[in-house]
């Protein structure tokens, strides 16, 4: 189903599910949930170490001729302490498909990455990279020693960008995948609750025959974009079937039976035709040949 069809059926324009930067769907042979769990565990260990070493921040230190005061270290420890609940909320949100929680964790990583890059650049521009080297080495080969120190700082900067940026990209991919599943779920609910929209969906998807019927595994983050249409139709079918099992032996209006038949026919699963005025229940209909999904 195209974005235009979704907009016509849903009554409003639906944002595109893909962008120029494609989110990750898995990490090699592991799920995206495993990736964000590893990122959160490593980040949690770093935060705990920074908070646990607060008593050592009682004197100033000098790094590359730049004085690091106890107040600056205390601010760093406070940021790490604030990150502990953010990390827990982010991993929890990824496990239960709550995009807002994961998005907060994403912003925490982005802000931390910007601060790390800014401090590294400040040390390169305003610091003396030769200050930490033995004086005899500096006197013998100042250009080589200072150039090597500058190269190490540049490599450290690129290493920070690669590792921290990769972690942020994994978390961003989680946010995108959860939001995609949420959009499909909202669209399915709107189509299910409105009979006219449901009928329009059946008409537009009358020729749709899914070959590889996809599953939107939100917790495992194995949701494939090519299977969005199949997952949306199956979601509607499951909601219809779930509502039928709760009605028991209540009589179902003929128009509800007709809507259900049109919906199943839209996904190329045509059930046995029931008489329009037959008094039957959804549960009985399910036992008499209606497909269970």
Q: Please provide the DSSP assignment of 7-37 as one string.
A: HHHHSSPPPPS--SSPPPSEETTEEHHHHHH
One domain for residues 231 and 175: no
Q: Are residues 270 and 211 in the same domain?
A: yes
CB 94 within 8 A of CB 134: no
d(CA 54, CA 278): 76
In this structure, are residues 31 and 221 in contact, taking their beta carbons and an 8 Å threshold?
yes
Residue 66: pLDDT band with limits 50, 70, 90:
confident
Report yes or no: 44 and 82 within 8 Å, Cβ to Cβ.
no
Same domain, residue pair 155 and 271: no
Domain boundary among 137, 154, 185: 185
Angle at alpha carbon of residue 145, lines to 144 and 150, rounded to 5°: 95
Radius of gyration of the chain (CA): 29
Q: Identify whether the C-beta of residue 172 lies closer than 8 Å to the C-beta of residue 90.
A: no
* pLDDT attached to residue 205: 55
pLDDT at 55: 72
Per-residue pLDDT averaged across 253-270, rounded? Answer: 50
Burial of 236 (0-12, 13-18, 19+ CB in 10 A): buried
**Residue 280 within any structural domain of the chain:** yes
What's the angle, vertex CA 267, arms to CA 96 and CA 200, rounded to 5?
A: 90
pLDDT average, residue stretch 70-94: 90
DSSP state, residue 30: E
CA angle 9-13-17, nearest 5°?
100
Residue 147 lies in a domain: yes
Same domain (yes/no): 260, 169: no
- Let me know whether 150 and 232 are in one domain: no
Name 3's Cβ contacts closer than 8 Å, sequence gap at least 6.
13, 14, 16
Residues 149, 252, single domain; the answer is no
The position carrying tokens 């769907």 is 25
Least confident of 29-33, 101-105, 121-125, 263-267: 263-267
For 143-161, how does the pLDDT look when each residue is reduced to its tens digit (9 = 90+)? 666 667 777 778 888 888 8
The reply to whether 257 and 149 lie within a common domain is: no
In which domain, by residue range, is 22 found?
17-185
Average pLDDT over residues 261-276: 46
Task: Give the C-alpha distances (Å, rounded to integers) separating 210 from 11, 105, 214, 290, 292.
Answer: 24, 37, 9, 18, 16
Residue 73 domain-assigned (yes or no) = yes
Residue 136 and residue 22 share a domain = yes
Domain check: are 87 and 215 in the same one?
A: no
pTM score, whole prediction: 0.57
The answer, yes or no, to whether residue 192 has pLDDT greater than 70, is no
pLDDT of residue 138: 56
Q: Which of 27-31, 33-37, 51-55, 207-211 has the lowest mean pLDDT?
A: 207-211
Q: Is residue 7 part of a domain?
A: no
Same domain, 37 and 178: yes
- For residue range 203-229, list pLDDT tens digits in order: 665 544 444 444 444 334 333 333 455
**51 inside domain:** yes
Total domains in the chain come to 2
Instruction: Give the pLDDT confidence score for residue 180 in this predicted structure.
Output: 83
What is the helix (H) or strand (E) element at residue 107, kind and residue range?
A: helix 99-126
Question: Distance between the two ends of the chain, CA-based, in angstroms?
Answer: 20
The yes-or-no verdict on residue 273 having pLDDT over 50 is: no
Cα angle: 211, vertex 220, 81; to 5 degrees: 155
135 lies in the same domain as 39: yes
> Among residues 185, 215, 238, which one ends one of the domains?
185
CB-based contact 38:183 (threshold 8 Å): no
Query: Is residue 215 one of the residues assigned to a domain?
Result: yes
Rounded Cα distance between 228 and 94, Å, is 20
> Which residue, of 154, 185, 216, is where some domain finishes?
185
The answer to the question of residue 97 being in a domain is yes
- The verdict on 218 and 268 lying in the same domain is yes
Residue with tokens 């008409």: 203
9 falls within a domain: no
> What tokens does 106 get?
């994403």
């Amino acid at each position: 189903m195209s974005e235009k069809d979704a907009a016509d059926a849903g009554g409003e324009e639906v944002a595109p599910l893909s962008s120029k930067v494609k989110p990750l769907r898995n990490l090699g042979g592991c799920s995206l949930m495993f990736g964000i769990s590893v990122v959160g565990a490593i980040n949690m260990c770093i935060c705990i170490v920074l908070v646990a070493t607060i008593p050592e921040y009682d004197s100033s230190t000098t790094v590359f001729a730049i004085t690091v005061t106890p107040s600056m270290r205390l601010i760093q420890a406070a940021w790490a302490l604030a990150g502990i609940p953010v990390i827990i909320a982010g991993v929890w949100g990824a496990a239960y498909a709550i995009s807002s929680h994961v998005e907060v964790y994403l912003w925490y990583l982005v802000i931390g990455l910007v601060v790390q890059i800014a401090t590294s650049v400040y040390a390169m521009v305003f610091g003396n990279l030769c200050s930490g080297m033995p004086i005899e080495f500096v006197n013998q080969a100042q250009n080589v020693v200072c150039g090597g120190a500058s190269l190490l700082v540049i490599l450290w900067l690129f290493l920070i960008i690669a590792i921290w940026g990769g972690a942020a990209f994994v978390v961003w991919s989680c946010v995108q995948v959860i939001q995609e599943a949420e959009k499909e779920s909202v669209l399915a609910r709107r189509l299910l609750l409105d009979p006219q929209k449901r009928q329009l969906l059946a008409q537009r998807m009358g020729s749709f025959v899914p070959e590889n019927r996809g599953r939107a595994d939100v917790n495992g983050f194995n949701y494939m974009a090519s299977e969005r249409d199949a997952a949306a139709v199956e979601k509607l079918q499951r909601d219809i079937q779930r509502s039928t099992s709760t009605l028991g032996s209540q009589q179902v209006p003929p128009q509800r039976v007709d809507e259900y038949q049109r919906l199943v026919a839209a996904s190329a699963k045509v059930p046995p035709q029931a008489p329009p005025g037959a008094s039957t229940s959804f549960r009985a209909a399910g036992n008499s040949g209606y497909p269970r999904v």
